[in-house]
């Protein structure tokens, strides 16, 4: 199990580095997905199977799909890679790398003595739920409020765009059909005539 | 808990899953033909059973051409992803007591995780092909599978509430008194529809709608790479059918016959249902598909979860 932990950790770190240095956006995202999968394996080895599953479902399976979705629509292959190339000159990354290495050395120094090994017992999903809705209920509520605010904000931003008069798309409803002239072919013609 | 011979059971599950998927190609063609008053493939071998062998020899012999304009590494990776994710899901599937590769405590979540990773194969295939029809197919697949995954997970939470666990063998054992299809009928219907959408079968096959997008995300694929998408779809169908029988119809539980037989009986009846749906239903428009998912299915899944939670709270 310890070996699995180190392999998964190494894969996660390596793929993160590769993600940072890729010029092509989609390839970088693929390495980020691999990195998330590596982190999920690390969680699983540490006994947090529930967190590992959620990591894959939410981060690797949903959020990253949205990232790829957006990148696909933007179609940024040629010029974007050129721009990335200019950003990746040593003059830009040496400063942050030096500062980050100082932090890493500090962390290594601090945790050097406190090696407790890998925890043996796993955490069951039920325990996670009881902890979340028991002592940490405030955190859950705060997070849900934040998400609700995000939801309302996204709705607001998305809503203003579709305010211009347009024919209703769902032809199941009678109103939609009436507006569209009762015929799908007509609906298409009408729509193209109205929107420039 | 794992079964006594891990390597053996891994190989066994993989081989059985693959042969069922290959066999399904013949089953589907025959059943479709039956429902459309034709014979279907009946020339090669008894009842046309060797048609699958003939087809696979043909597909292996075909030229495996990678077009010059594609993004090569991603193009090659994409068909492998669909295969790997579906086969990984079979690892947590309990066929009979003790016949399971890995009894994870989060088995159900593992299945959901793998099915959510399966989206990448279609999306990346569409993107890497550098072809506008393939890209449109990939975009549709991303939007469709992301939307239908949301209530797929929610529709299963009712089962989890009743069984009190994410482990699939424990969920089967919890159905000794009553199959979950009865208390969780809305959940069953929602999962069935989400499963159809996840496998991109006909009412939901807009990512590859051949009448508008050539072949959608796999337009540029040929030879065995196309074969992987093809067999991957059938493996997805058998996986969803097996999951329906495990989660809602008591898996291996049943009188007289041994558990394995019951499991495969239930699984094959759902596979037949999937084929019947393909024979019976046309595909909707894409905006209808999306608004159906978000405006009808998601609220229904939430109401089902709320009602189940309230009932469990009241009676326990």
Residues A20-59: pLDDT tens digits? 887 778 888 889 999 999 999 888 888 888 888 888 888 8
Find, in chain B, the residue whose alpha carbon is nearest to that of A75: B127
Q: B274 in contact with A at a CB cutoff of 8 Å? A: no
Distance to chain B for A50, nearest Cα, Å: 6
Residue B180 in domain: yes
pLDDT computed for residue A119 by the predictor? 58
Q: A57 in contact with B at a CB cutoff of 8 Å? A: yes
What are the chain A neighbours of B109 within 8 Å (beta carbons)?
Answer: 50, 53-54, 57, 125
Grade residue A115 by pLDDT with cuts at 50, 70 and 90: low
Model pTM? Answer: 0.80
Residue B168 in domain: yes
Q: Quote the tokens at residue B167.
A: 């482990």
Nearest CA among B82, B79, B88 for reference residue B118: B82
Distance to chain A for B33, nearest Cα, Å: 31
How many structural domains are present in chain B?
1
pLDDT averaged over chain B? 84
Q: Quote the tokens at residue A72.
A: 């696909």
Cβ pair A69:B139 closer than 8 A: yes
Grade residue A180 by pLDDT with cuts at 50, 70 and 90: very low
- What does the pLDDT look like over B100-118, one tens digit per residue? 777 778 888 889 888 888 8
ipTM for the complex shown: 0.80
Cβ pair B113:A66 closer than 8 A: no
Find, in chain A, the residue whose alpha carbon is nearest to that of B150: A62
pLDDT computed for residue A76 by the predictor? 66
Grade residue A143 by pLDDT with cuts at 50, 70 and 90: very high
A80-89, B112-121, B258-267 — which is least confidently predicted?
A80-89
Q: B111 in contact with A at a CB cutoff of 8 Å? A: no
Greatest Cα pair distance, chain A, in angstroms, is 77
pLDDT computed for residue A161 by the predictor? 58
Cβ pair A68:B142 closer than 8 A: yes
Residue A4: give its domain's CATH number. Answer: 1.20.120.1200
Residue A20 in domain: yes
Work out the average pLDDT over B230-248: 88
Q: Is the separation of the CB atoms in B31 and B275 below 8 Å? A: yes
Cβ pair A72:B74 closer than 8 A: no
Highest-pLDDT range among B45-54, B62-71, B190-199: B190-199
Tell me what percent of the residues of chain B surpass a pLDDT of 70: 99
What are the chain A neighbours of B161 within 8 Å (beta carbons)?
Answer: none
Q: Is the dihedral of CA B125, B147, B305, A133 positive or negative?
A: positive
Q: Which domain holds residue A14?
A: 1-123
> Is the model's pLDDT at B4 over the cut of 70?
no
Q: Quote the tokens at residue B41.
A: 């493939």
Grade residue A195 by pLDDT with cuts at 50, 70 and 90: very low
Q: Is the separation of the CB atoms in B74 and B127 below 8 Å? A: yes
Q: Which domain holds residue B89?
A: 6-315
How many structural domains are present in chain A?
1
Residue B25 in domain: yes
SS (H, E, C) A79-95: HHHHHHHHHCCHHHHHH
pLDDT computed for residue A192 by the predictor? 44
Work out the average pLDDT over A138-164: 84
Residue A157 in domain: no
Residue B186 in domain: yes
> Is the model's pLDDT at A2 over the cut of 60?
yes
Find, in chain B, the residue whose alpha carbon is nearest to that of A126: B165
A41-50, B2-11, B299-308 — which is least confidently predicted?
B2-11
Q: Which residue has the higher pLDDT, B78 or B254?
A: B78
Q: A26 in contact with B at a CB cutoff of 8 Å? A: yes
Question: Which residue from A61, A69, A170 is facing B288, i.e. has the nearest CB?
Answer: A170
Find, in chain B, the residue whose alpha carbon is nearest to that of A125: B106
Cβ pair B149:A62 closer than 8 A: yes
Cβ pair B106:A65 closer than 8 A: no
Residue A132 in domain: no
- Residues of B (280-299) whose Cβ lies below 8 Å from A: 285, 287-288, 291
**Cα gap B221→B230, rounded to integer Å:** 11
Residue A137 in domain: no
Grade residue A146 by pLDDT with cuts at 50, 70 and 90: very high
| Beta bridge pairs of residue B96 | B99
What are the chain A neighbours of B116 within 8 Å (beta carbons)?
Answer: 56-57, 60-62, 65
What are the chain A neighbours of B198 within 8 Å (beta carbons)?
Answer: none
Work out the average pLDDT over B165-194: 86
Cβ pair B113:A172 closer than 8 A: no
Q: B124 in contact with A at a CB cutoff of 8 Å? A: yes
Residue B1 in domain: no
């Amino acid at each position: 199990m310890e070996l699995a932990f180190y392999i998964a950790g190494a894969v996660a770190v390596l793929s993160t580095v590769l993600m940072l240095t890729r010029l092509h956006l989609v390839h970088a995202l693929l390495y980020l997905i691999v990195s998330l999968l590596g982190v999920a394996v690390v969680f699983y080895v540490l006994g947090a199977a529930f967190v590992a599953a959620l990591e894959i479902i939410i981060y690797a399976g949903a959020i990253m799909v949205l990232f790829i979705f957006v990148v696909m629509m933007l179609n940024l292959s040629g010029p974007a890679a050129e721009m990335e190339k200019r950003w990746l000159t040593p003059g830009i990354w040496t400063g942050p790398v030096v500062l980050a290495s100082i932090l890493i050395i500090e962390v290594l120094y601090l945790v050097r003595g406190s090696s407790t090994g890998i925890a043996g017992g796993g955490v069951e999903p039920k325990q996670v739920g009881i902890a979340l809705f028991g002592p940490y209920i405030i955190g859950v509520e705060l997070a849900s409020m934040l998400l609700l605010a995000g939801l309302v904000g996204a709705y607001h931003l998305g809503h203003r765009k579709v305010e211009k008069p347009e024919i209703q798309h769902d032809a199941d409803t009678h109103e939609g059909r009436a507006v569209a002239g009762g015929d799908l072919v007509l609906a298409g013609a009408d729509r193209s005539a109205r929107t420039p | 808990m794992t079964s006594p011979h891990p390597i053996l059971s891994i190989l066994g599950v993989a081989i059985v899953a693959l042969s069922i998927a290959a066999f399904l190609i013949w089953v589907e063609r025959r059943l479709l033909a039956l429902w459309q008053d034709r014979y279907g493939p009946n020339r090669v071998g008894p009842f046309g059973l060797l048609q699958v062998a003939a087809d696979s020899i043909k597909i292996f012999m075909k030229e495996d051409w990678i077009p010059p304009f594609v993004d090569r590494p991603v193009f090659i990776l994409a068909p492998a992803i669909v295969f790997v994710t579906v086969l990984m899901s079979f690892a947590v599937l309990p066929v009979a007591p003790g016949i399971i590769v890995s009894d994870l405590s989060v088995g159900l979540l593992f299945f959901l995780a793998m099915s959510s990773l399966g989206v990448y194969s279609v999306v990346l295939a569409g993107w890497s092909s550098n072809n506008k029809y393939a890209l449109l197919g990939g975009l549709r697949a991303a939007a469709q599978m992301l939307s239908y995954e949301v209530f797929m997970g929610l529709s299963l939470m009712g089962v989890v509430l009743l069984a009190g666990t994410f482990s699939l063998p424990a969920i089967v054992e919890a159905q000794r008194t009553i199959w979950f299809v009865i208390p969780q009928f809305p959940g069953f219907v929602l999962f069935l529809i989400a499963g159809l959408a996840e496998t991109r079968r006909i009412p939901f096959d807009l990512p590859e709608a051949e009448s508008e997008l050539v072949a959608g995300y796999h337009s540029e694929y040929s030879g065995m790479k196309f074969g992987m998408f093809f067999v991957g779809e059938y493996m997805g169908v058998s996986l969803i059918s097996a999951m329906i029988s495990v989660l809602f119809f008591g898996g291996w539980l049943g009188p007289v016959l041994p558990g394995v037989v019951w499991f495969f009986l239930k699984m094959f009846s759902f596979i037949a249902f999937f084929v019947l749906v393909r024979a019976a239903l046309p595909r909707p428009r894409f905006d209808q598909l999306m608004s159906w998912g978000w405006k009808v299915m998601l609220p229904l899944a939430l109401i089902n979860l709320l009602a189940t939670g309230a009932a469990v709270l009241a009676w326990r």
